[in-house]
Structure 1
Amino acid sequence: MRALLALGALVLAASPAAAQLRPFSCVGAERLEDDVIAVPFARNSATLGPAGRAAIATAAAQALAERERNICVLGHAERAAGAETSTQLAARRARAVALALSQQGVERDRVRGEARVGAFSGSQSEPGARAVTIVLMPAR
């Protein structure tokens, strides 16, 4: 049993998703107002459109010019389909944007993606509910 647990830990440690070499937190990122870029998505979609790709190109250019800054990618989704599904959609959107940033040359260890789904309020139109927010964090 211990050998199996050790093997599982080794596999997890070796996987690219587990490697986050730069320790930083996205706590409070949604309250920042500078260097925040919105990436729009269609309802119930995690597929990037032309406007989203343009926003990512802008964010990537700034991130490449300021390599000391880390990037928080905050995926949002409406609560209409239920909490679990909304969280999954927000996570897929964040992953799509993080992948697109890395394809633009931004180092993956500088990017942290998180799903953010607002509290259920009965309203289906929370601001930014169909977007991903890219936040270039202040340099330390």
Structure 2
Amino acid sequence: MKRLALFLALLTTPAMAEVAAINCVGALQLEDDVYSIPFARGSARIGDAARSPLAAVVEALAADRSRVACVLGHAGQEGGATTSIRLAAERARAVATALAGLGVSRDRLRTEARSAQFSPRVRAETPPSRTVTVVVLPAAGPEPAPAPTPAPAPAPAATPAPSLAPEPAPAPDAAPPPARAP
């Protein structure tokens, strides 16, 4: 019963903040506005080498307020799958926190942890477990205009109702035609 009460309480509680959906699927295939933040092995602490790429990310996001960024923490296989994913997530959060500290709104950032099994970039990089990739996504186009509402179809023309009374015989115009002689 307590579980049900807790569930109902959670259902009726409004969300703290609505964050716009940011889709990072395929972000690593983009080539423009992709920045790599280096990390020391086994660490989620941002070093001095991160200053330049972080500044470039802030500049790209400040240039167009409609753009958003994917902050993708990468991890190799050091320490096992759980440990490496945790490290990748910590790195991504550290970069997002640094960007927020530099003035980027958190609702413009999406953090994700990536592992070597699912990230071709991690498999190709040397060393794979020492980066966070920040991809500033292209600006979304303008909102499409709503489709015009079609005008209502004209009502069919009214046809007269059939009359139940017989039609009257046509009135004679003039005298009947003369009869022919035999």
Pick the TM interval, shorter chain: 0.7 to 0.9
Instruction: Report the 3-state secondary structure (helix = DSSP H, G, I; strand = E; otherwise coil) of the residue aligned with 1:105.
Output: coil
Structure showing greater Rg? 2
The CA deviation string for residues 52-93 of structure 1, in whole angstroms up to 9 with x for no partner, is: 133112211211111111100000011121111000000000
- Structure-to-structure mapping, 1:78-89, within 5 angstroms: 78-89=76-87
Output the CA distance in 2 between the equivalents of 1:93 and 1:12: 30
Letter in 1 for 2:132: V
Equivalenced residue count is: 133
| TM-score, normalisation: structure 1 | 0.85
Deviating above 2 A after TM superposition, structure 1's stretches of 4 or more consecutive aligned residues are 6-14
The aligned counterpart of 1:135 is 135
Asked whether the 8 Å contact 2:92–2:132 carries over to 1, the reply is: yes
Letter in 2 for 1:134: V
- More relative contact order, 1 or 2 (CA 8 Å, 6+ apart): 1
Is residue 114 from structure 1 mapped to residue 112 from structure 2 by the alignment?
A: yes
Query: Aligned-pair RMSD on alpha carbons?
Result: 2.2
Q: Can you give the 5+ residue segments of structure 2 that lack an aligned partner in the other structure?
A: 141-182
Bigger helix fraction: 1
Q: Can you give the 5+ residue segments of structure 1 that lack an aligned partner in the other structure?
A: none
Output the CA distance in 2 between the equivalents of 1:9 and 1:109: 23
